[in-house]
Amino acid sequence: MAADINSVTIVGRLTRDAELKYTNSGSAVTGMSIAVNRTRKDGDQWVEEANFFDVSLWGRRGESLNQYLQKGTRIAVTGELRQDRWEQDGQKRSRVVIHANNIQLLGGNSPGQGTPGQGFSGNNQRPNQGYQNSGNNSYNNVSNNKPSYENYPSGNAGGSGNFEDDIPF
Amino acid sequence: MAADINSVTIVGRLTRDAELKYTNSGSAVTGMSIAVNRTRKDGDQWVEEANFFDVSLWGRRGESLNQYLQKGTRIAVTGELRQDRWEQDGQKRSRVVIHANNIQLLGGNSPGQGTPGQGFSGNNQRPNQGYQNSGNNSYNNVSNNKPSYENYPSGNAGGSGNFEDDIPF
Amino acid sequence: MAADINSVTIVGRLTRDAELKYTNSGSAVTGMSIAVNRTRKDGDQWVEEANFFDVSLWGRRGESLNQYLQKGTRIAVTGELRQDRWEQDGQKRSRVVIHANNIQLLGGNSPGQGTPGQGFSGNNQRPNQGYQNSGNNSYNNVSNNKPSYENYPSGNAGGSGNFEDDIPF
Amino acid sequence: MAADINSVTIVGRLTRDAELKYTNSGSAVTGMSIAVNRTRKDGDQWVEEANFFDVSLWGRRGESLNQYLQKGTRIAVTGELRQDRWEQDGQKRSRVVIHANNIQLLGGNSPGQGTPGQGFSGNNQRPNQGYQNSGNNSYNNVSNNKPSYENYPSGNAGGSGNFEDDIPF
DNA sequence: TTTT
DNA sequence: TTTT
């Protein structure tokens, strides 16, 4: 019956550059992998343990943030837990993904503490080879090629944008 | 560097009875599977979609709540995201688990809205056959047999309890 | 420097019926007061302590839910913390409010566990006298009278609705 | 009936240095004020708006973190909402406080991104005049003077510490 | 593998 | 000012 409460907030660092892709229907989806540290007692000593989670951010906000979402960047994420389901070799598979509603840049390699858009001109020179595509990518029909907008009448994929996606970072 | 913020809160219903087990070191761990519904637009119609997550609750609180955590019970869970890692046939595997700090009973098949311990005398007559043990159980060294406490000098597994676990429900 | 992460999730019961009002600009705002219980040790005994918070839900979702949001209803709320600021007798005053993004009905006096719209025909017979208007109401220009929509060209107040507000409950 | 779910997570910057005090019973309580920014559309322009909240952190963790919790420091806080109640001139008053379970240092003026305890030797030279004491301080029986521990047999105030408070930052 |  |  109806929508259940589902809320997640984590802080962590990206384990690699974010990947911006587009579904067949033209939606932008930015995929990330985040390392969230926790400390636990091992005997009488504190040890650090990393947990790795997948994050996806849909829509224009990911298009804007993508250039800052580089390996090592510290971010805070709020969103909800989702289960991604797909078939592989006739086998049903699933993974838990954090579906982000909002991402905040917190520094690290990112401009979170400086002035965004300043002094980062070199960031995207480094080609994004897309080698992260290997592995358990579960998005259907996702490509790295930005669609020409003419093909998407509704224009929501990368067009003039709606309220949420225009939030400055 | 140190512990990152990691906070999850969800509401949902148990897809089966909770399973209370004990690790070799005598810690109680209560495992659950929860269905969290969301609604999404499919064309111009609202459809409901269930997402399934694993929840684990450690310590005495699980021992107390276990009897109410039955299939269909609606609960609210707060905790943190964890990554469970283990090896299977020489393969590294992992799954995301919600490590619960607190669970609130919200009704459904549970006594959440009545008086706990009242009118539920028949609940545990039904033998817990433990058939849910099959499948991807990733706890190491976990058994269904409650250890005799004499074997566990520290006595934390089921003993007189510490602060957190004595919270009434 | 941009938007900070700000996320709240609570469960509690309404201390009185929700109040649906409209700002001068025609926005619907549903005000609630929620009691959130916690348990604490007093000596060797558990005692229950209630904490009271203000919740506001903007837009059409409040218009839909209003009829179910009655005194005693248990709800779960996700949203963000906000500071409401106003002047009273030349004095600056403020209060913390939970700005709800989503509210889930969880039962109690509400139809949360039944089928909404069924068997609750008598609920709204009881006139809503609006006596709760006294006290520290801090919304500016808020009235209990639903505006005639002709006056509000943008039509967002109660018109055809946008995505978020159409979510079923 | 029992404890309700109550969970808050925010990111923001301290508006002044944290204040570490001790209750009559010897408990350490660290008080903070945090500015949480949000962005909103004003016409067609994004404007930034700060919201200010009170945070309190009890126990040894506050004693450890206090030296880093300076004006301007960016932190992430998880905890629960609480209502602080007291009497002033025979008037009942209350305020909402975030009761922190955990605080993460995120940089800014703090050593959150460097090595704590390194290169910050000058930080506490600046005397903490305690002028922030004016205003709506609602803790009862709180003083700035660290008690001599001999007076507190249980030794929890600043003694050998329990599990939670020893977490490194 | 699934709840209402 | 308060809910169960």
Question: Hey, what amino acid is at C129?
Answer: Q
Sequence spans of domains, chain D: 8-105
* For residues B64-75, average pLDDT: 96
Question: d(Cα C79, Cα C82) in Å, to the nearest integer?
Answer: 9
- Residue C122 pairs in a beta bridge with none
Token pair for residue B2?
Answer: 């140190």
Chains touching A (3+ CB pairs < 8 Å): B, C, D
Q: Among D4, D76, D113, whose Cβ lies nearest the Cβ of B5?
A: D76
What pLDDT sits at residue C64? Answer: 94
What pLDDT sits at residue C1? Answer: 56
**Minimal Cα–Cα distance from C91 to chain B, Å?**
37
Token pair for residue B156?
Answer: 């934390």
CA of C37 to C1' of F4 (A): 9
In the structure, what pLDDT confidence band is assigned to residue B144 with cuts at 50, 70 and 90? low
Q: 3-state class of A166 per DSSP?
A: helix
Question: Hey, what amino acid is at A36?
Answer: V
Bridging pattern class, strands A91-105 and A45-58: parallel
What pLDDT sits at residue B167? Answer: 78
pLDDT, one tens digit for every residue, chain D (169 residues): 589 999 999 999 999 999 999 999 999 999 999 999 999 999 999 999 999 999 999 999 999 999 999 999 999 999 999 999 998 888 899 999 999 999 999 986 644 443 333 333 333 333 333 333 333 444 445 555 444 433 333 333 333 344 455 677 7
Query: Which tens digit of pLDDT belongs to each residue from D20-64?
Result: 999 999 999 999 999 999 999 999 999 999 999 999 999 999 999
Question: d(Cα A110, Cα A113) in Å, to the nearest integer?
Answer: 8
Confirm whether pTM is higher than 0.85.
no
User: What count of other Cβ atoms lies within 10 Å of the Cβ of residue A161?
Assistant: 15
Most confident of A95-109, B107-121, B131-145, D50-64: D50-64
Query: Which tens digit of pLDDT belongs to each residue from A4-34?
Result: 999 999 999 999 999 999 999 999 999 999 9
Most confident of B113-122, C117-126, D31-40: D31-40
Question: d(Cα C29, Cα C84) in Å, to the nearest integer?
Answer: 14
What share of chain A has pLDDT > 70, as a percent?
64
Nucleotides in chain E with any atom closer than 7 Å to protein CB:
1-4
In the structure, what pLDDT confidence band is assigned to residue B89 with cuts at 50, 70 and 90? confident
Asked if the model's pLDDT at residue C137 lies above 60, the reply is: no
CB under 8 Å to C17, separation ≥6 — which residues? C69, C70, C71, C128, C132
CA of A154 to C1' of F3 (A): 47
Q: Among D5, D78, D113, whose Cβ lies nearest the Cβ of B5?
A: D78
In the structure, what pLDDT confidence band is assigned to residue B168 with cuts at 50, 70 and 90? confident
What pLDDT sits at residue C142? Answer: 60
Tokens 């911006």 appear where? A20
Question: d(Cα C107, Cα B88) in Å, to the nearest integer?
Answer: 43
* For residues B125-140, average pLDDT: 39
Please tell me which residue, C1 or D58, carries the higher pLDDT value. D58
Query: Which tens digit of pLDDT belongs to each residue from A63-73?
Result: 999 999 999 99
What pLDDT sits at residue A4? Answer: 97
User: Which residue, among B122, B134, B139, B23, has the nearest Cα to B67 in the 3D structure?
Assistant: B122
In the structure, what pLDDT confidence band is assigned to residue A111 with cuts at 50, 70 and 90? very low
Cα-only R_g, chain B: 17
User: Which residue, among C7, D72, D45, has the nearest Cα to A113 in the 3D structure?
Assistant: D72
Helix ranges (H only) for chain A are 60-65
Q: For A37-83, give the DSSP string.
A: EEEEEETTEEEEEEEEEEEEEESHHHHHHGGG--TT-EEEEEEEEEE
| A:83-122 Cβ neighbours of strand E under 7 Å | 92, 94
Residues of A in contact with D98 (CB under 8 A): none
Question: d(Cα A21, Cα A125) in Å, to the nearest integer?
Answer: 18
* For residues A109-138, average pLDDT: 38
H or E stretch at D14 = strand D6-14
In the structure, what pLDDT confidence band is assigned to residue C168 with cuts at 50, 70 and 90? confident
Tell the burial category of C45 from Cβ atoms under 10 Å away from its Cβ (0-12, 13-18, 19+). exposed
What pLDDT sits at residue B1? Answer: 55
CB under 8 Å to D4, separation ≥6 — which residues? B104, C10, C11, C12, C36, C37, C38
Q: Give the CATH fold of the D8-105 domain.
A: OB fold (Dihydrolipoamide Acetyltransferase, E2P) (2.40.50)
Q: Does B167 touch chain D (CB under 8 A)?
A: yes
Bridging pattern class, strands D91-105 and D45-58: parallel
Question: d(Cα C97, Cα C55) in Å, to the nearest integer?
Answer: 6
Asked if the model's pLDDT at residue B57 lies above 90, the reply is: yes
* For residues B81-106, average pLDDT: 94
Question: d(Cα A8, Cα B9) in Å, to the nearest integer?
Answer: 6
Query: Which tens digit of pLDDT belongs to each residue from C19-60?
Result: 999 999 999 999 999 999 999 988 889 999 999 999 999 999
Distances (CA, A) of D116 to A37, D23, D78, D121: 17, 28, 21, 11
Tokens 């619907």 appear where? C28
Bridging pattern class, strands C45-58 and C91-105: parallel
User: What count of other Cβ atoms lies within 10 Å of the Cβ of residue D48?
Assistant: 12
Q: Which range has the worst mean pLDDT, A97-106, B141-150, D115-124? A: D115-124
How many pairs of residues across B and D have Cβ atoms under 8 Å apart?
40
What pLDDT sits at residue B169? Answer: 75
Asked if the model's pLDDT at residue B95 lies above 90, the reply is: yes
Furthest-apart CA atoms within chain A: distance in Å: 62
CA of D152 to C1' of F2 (A): 37
| C:4-43 Cβ neighbours of strand F under 7 Å | 12-16, 33, 35, 37
> Do C8 and D8 lie within an 8 Å CB cutoff?
yes
Tell the burial category of B147 from Cβ atoms under 10 Å away from its Cβ (0-12, 13-18, 19+). middle
What share of chain B has pLDDT > 90, as a percent?
53
Nucleotides in chain F with any atom closer than 7 Å to protein CB:
1-4
